[in-house]
Structure 1
C-alpha cells in the first residue's frame, strides 16, 4: 500500500475509530439513560400501582349504615398510616431519583416529570383520602355508638312499656288496697322514668350531631336532592370542589361515586368518600324521644286509670254509707260527723270527676250516673236531716214545755204561800216576829231570784228554739206558755219585793212606835209622880225647874215621833202599791195608824200637862 493510500487509510481509520468511540459512548450513555429511566419508571410505577390500589380500597369502602364494623376499619387505617409513613421515605427517594435525572438533563424529561407529577398528585390524593377516612371513622363511630345506646334505651323503654301495661292495668273490680299500693309503686317508677329523662335528653343532644349514613346506601333511593359537605379538595377537568364546600347530592345510585353539584353549579361524578352527609339525622332525633313520650304517656294513662278507680271506690264507699243511714243511726252520730261524711262525698265526687277526665275506665254515661247517685244521696241526707230535726224539735219542745210547766206550778205554789203570808197578821207590838219574817222572806227572795235566773236561761233557750223552729206546729203553744210563766214570775217577784219592803217598813214602824210609847209612858209616869205640889216656894221652884227640863227633853225627843210618822207614811205608800199591783190590802196598817195617833195624842197631852203645870 502506497503511502498516500496508507495516509488516507489511516485518516479514515482514525476517523472511523473516533466515530466508533463516539458511537460506543453514545450507546453507553443511552443505555445508561434507558436503564435509569427504566429503573425510575419501574419504581414510580410500582408506587403508583400501590397508591392506586389503596385509593381504590378507600374509595370503594362502604361507609353506609350497613357496615358497622368500624373497629376493623380503624385497625386497617392504623396499619395503612404506618405503611404510609414507611412509603413516605420510598416516595421521597423516588422523587429524589427523578430530581437527579432531571438535574442531569435526562432526555426523557417529560416522561420523568409526568411520572413525578403523577406520584405527587396520587400521594397528595391518598393523604386527603386518609383525612376523609379519619373523618368518617370518627363520625361513623359516633353514629353506631349513638344507635347502640339508642337501641339499649329503646329496649329499656319497650320493656318498661310492657311492664306498665301488664302491671298497672285495672278496672272496677280491682282491689282498693292493691290499687293504692300500685299507685305508690307507680310514683316510684315515675321518678325512675323522670331520672331516665336525663339519659334520653343526652341522646337527643347527641342526635343533633349524628350524620346521615343511609344516603350512602344505593338501596336507599333519594326522593329529592340533599345537601352534602366536602371534607377534602377534589379537582377534575369537569369540576372543582374545595374542602367545606356545601354541595348537592343529586344521585346516589353508585355507592363509590355520587353525582354531585358544586357551589358553582357544575355537575360530575365524585367519590362519595369525599363527602359527609351532615346532621340532622331525622331517624336519630325522632326515635328515642317518640318512644319516651309514648312510655310517659302510657304511664300517665295507667296512673290516671288507677286514680280514677281509687276515687270511684272512695266515692262508692261514701254513697253506700249514706244509703245505709236511717233516722236512728243519724241521731247516734257525733256532732258534725254526718256533715263530714257529706263533705267527703262531695270532695270524693269532685276528685273522681277530675281523675276520670282522661280515664279510659269510665265513660261519660258512668259519670252522669254517679252524679245522679250523689245528688240522690244529698236529697236523702236532707230528708234524714229534716226528720231528725223534727224529732229533735219535738224532744226539745217536750223538754222546754215540761220545765216551763214545772216552773209555773212552782211559782203558783210560791204565790199562794206568799199571799197567805201577806194576809197572816204579824204580832203588832213585838218587833222580833217581824224581823224573823224578814229573814225568812230574804231566803225565799234568794230562792225566787235563783228561780228567775233559771227562767231567764230557759227563756233564752226557748227563744233560740222558736227562732230556729219556724215551721214547728207546737211553737205557738210553747211561746204562750213561756209568756204566761214569765208574767207569773214578774208578778210573784214584784209581790215578793213589795212584801219585803212592807215587812221592813212595818218593822221600823213597830220599832219607832215602841220607842215613842216608851217615851210617852216614861213621861206620863213622871207627871203622875209629881202630881202633888207643896206650898213651899223652894219646892215650887224645884218643880218648875224639873218641868222646864222635861219640856226641853220632850222637844228634843220629838224626832222619834217624826220618824214614826215618816215610816208610817212609807208603809202607807207600800200598801197602796201592793193594792194597786196585786189587790192585796194591809189590814195591820190601820191598827198601826190608830196606835200612832193615840201615841201622838198622849204625847200632846204630856206637852199640855207640862205647860199647865
Structure 2
C-alpha cells in the first residue's frame, strides 16, 4: 500500500511539474519579439531548465520501472467479471479449503467484501478471507500512468529544444547585425583579439545551428547566406586594417626621422645662440650691421624650426592610437 501511494504521488508531482514548465516555455521563451539584449539571460535560464528536465527524465524513467511492481489495489473494490490470479499472504486451512503461504489461485467472485471465492490450481473451490489474498502486480493503471508521463516528458524535451534553438537564432542574428554595423573606424577601435573572438563565436554558433537544423529549413538557409556575407565583411575589414597599420608604421617612421633631424638642428641652433650671446659688442657701424644681419638670420632659422615642431606635434597627435 505504501509503495502504491508513493508511486502515484510521485507520478502526480511529475505530471504537474512538467505541465507548469511546458506553460513556462510557451509563455516566456516563444515570443516572436525577443529583445537582443535578453538572449543571453534566456539561454542561461534555458540551460538551468534543461538540467531540471534531465532530472525529471531520471525520475520518470524510475517510475516506468517501478510501475511493473505496483499492485492493483483498486481491483480489490471492483467486481470481477472473469477469474484473476491472486496469491495467499499466509497459510489458510479451514472448512475444506487449504492454502499455503505464497500459493497462487484464481479469484472467481469478490462480491463479498470480507470473503472471496477462489479456485485452486487443483480445482478446489471455497471462500477465503480477502485479507489473506493479494492481487499481484502488474497494475495496468500504474503502467499506463508511467507511459503517459514518459510521453509527456518527451514532448517537454522537444518543446525545450525548439525554444532553445529559437532563442539561439535570435542571438545569432543579433551578432550578425553587430558585425554588419562595423566600419573601419569601429573595427580599428576594437582590440584585434576581441573582434576576432566576436566573429569566431558568431561563426561557431551559426554553423552549429545550421548543422542541427539542416539547410532545408528556410531560416537556416537565410542564416547560411548571412554568415557568408559577414565573413566577407570581416575579411575585408581585416585587410583594410592591415593596410592602415602598415601606413601608420610607415608614417611613424618618417615622423621619427624628422624628429631626429629637428633635434640635431636644435642642438646646432643652441650652439649658435650661445656663440651670438658671447660675441663682443660691436664697436662701429659696420660691426653693428653685421651683428644685426647675424641675429636676423638666426631668428628666421629659429622660426622655421618652431614651425616644423608645431607641424610634427599635429602629425603625432593624429597618429596617436584612437
TM-score range, shorter chain: 0.5 to 0.7
Aligned counterpart, 2:206:
349
Distance 1:380-1:193 versus aligned 2 partners, 3 A rule: closer
**Structure 2 counterpart of 1:227:** 85
RMSD value, Cα: 4.8
Please state if 1:314 is matched with 2:174: no
Change (3 A) 1:382 1:153: closer
* 1:276 paired residue number: 134
Determine whether 1:287 maps to 2:145.
yes
> Which residue of structure 2 aligns with residue 22 of structure 1?
none
Distance 1:319 1:202, change over 3 A: closer
Q: SS where residue 260 of structure 1 aligns?
A: strand
Question: C-alpha deviations, 1:532-555, integer Å up to 9, x for none?
Answer: xxxxxxxxxxxxxxxxxxxxxxxx
In the other structure, the counterpart of 1:554 is none
Which residue of structure 1 aligns with residue 181 of structure 2?
A: 324
Q: 1:307 to 1:341 in 2, by over 3 A?
A: same
Residue matched to 2:235: 382
Cα displacement string for residues 201-240 of structure 1 (whole angstroms, at most 9, x for unaligned residues): 9978976664223444565655xx7532123425666xx5
Q: Once the two structures are superposed, what CA deviation does each residue of 1:217-274 show, in whole Å capped at 9, x if it has no partner? A: 565655xx7532123425666xx5322243242x646534545342xx3253544725
Is the contact made by 2:71 and 2:135 (CA closer than 8 Å) also made in structure 1?
Answer: yes
- Judge conservation of contact 2:64–2:146 (CA < 8 Å) in 1: yes
Q: How does 1:137-286 map to 2 (within 5 A)?
A: 139=1, 142=2, 145-146=5-6, 149-150=9-10, 152-153=12-13, 156-157=16-17, 160-161=20-21, 163-185=23-45, 210-216=70-76, 221=81, 226-231=84-89, 232-234=91-93, 240-249=97-106, 252=108, 255-256=111-112, 257-258=116-117, 260-262=119-121, 265-266=122-123, 268=125, 270-271=127-128, 273=130, 274-284=132-142
1:43 corresponds to:
none
CA distance in 1 between partners of 2:38 and 2:239 (Å) = 40
8 Å CA contact retained: 2:210, 2:224: no
Take 1:376 and 1:303, find their aligned partners in 2: how far apart are those partners?
Answer: 30
Higher-strand-fraction structure: 2
Question: What runs of 5+ residues in structure 1 fail to find an aligned partner?
Answer: 1-138, 408-613
Query: Counterpart of 2:86 in 1: which secondary structure?
Result: strand
Match of 1:477 in 2: none
Pairing of 1:503-518 with structure 2 (within 5 A): none
Is contact 2:22-2:156 (8 Å) kept?
no
Q: Which runs of 5+ in 2 are unaligned?
A: 261-322
**Contact persistence 2:79–2:110 (CA under 8 A):** no
Structure 2 CA distance for partners of 1:353 and 1:398, relative to 1, 3 Å:
same
- Pairing 1:373–2:226 present: yes
Could you give the per-residue CA deviations for residues 140-184 of structure 1, whole angstroms, max 9, x where no partner exists?
Answer: xx4774476357525643653454355444144223455544555
Question: Contact 1:261/1:268 (CA < 8 Å) preserved in 2?
Answer: yes
Q: How does 1:45-194 map to 2 (within 5 A)?
A: 139=1, 142=2, 145-146=5-6, 149-150=9-10, 152-153=12-13, 156-157=16-17, 160-161=20-21, 163-185=23-45
Tell me how far apart the structure 2 counterparts of residues 308 and 276 of structure 1 sit (CA, whole Å): 51
Identify the residue that residue 464 of structure 1 maps to in structure 2. none
1:219–1:344 CA distance, 2 compared to 1 (3 A)? same
Q: Compute the displacement of 1:275 (Å).
A: 2.5
TM-score, structure 1 as length reference: 0.33
- 8 Å Cα contact 2:25/2:163 also seen in 1: no
Residue 161 (structure 2) pairs with residue 304 (structure 1): yes
Residue of structure 2 equivalent to 1:91: none
Aligned residue-pair number: 255
Instruction: Give CA deviations for 1:470-521 in whole Å, capped at 9, x if unaligned.
Output: xxxxxxxxxxxxxxxxxxxxxxxxxxxxxxxxxxxxxxxxxxxxxxxxxxxx
Write out aligned runs for 1:415-454 (5 A).
none
State the SS of the aligned residue for 2:71.
Answer: coil
Change beyond 3 A, Cα 1:303–1:197: closer
Cα separation, 1, equivalents of 2:5 and 2:44: 36
* Contact 2:67/2:146, CA 8 A, preserved across alignment: no
Structure number with higher helix proportion: 1
8 Å CA contact 1:179–1:306 kept in 2: the answer is no
Residues 319, 373 of structure 1: 8 Å contact kept: yes
Structure 1's 234 and 160: CA in aligned 2 closer, same or farther, altered over 3 A?
Answer: farther
Please list the CA deviations of residues 337-360 of structure 1 after superposition, one character each: whole Å capped at 9, or x if unmatched.
Answer: 432332232233255457x559xx
* Equivalent residues of 2:72, 2:138 under 8 A apart: yes
Q: 1:389 to 1:175 in 2, by over 3 A?
A: closer
- The structure with the largest alpha-carbon Rg is 1
- How far apart, CA to CA, are the structure 2 residues paired with 1:179 and 1:383? 29
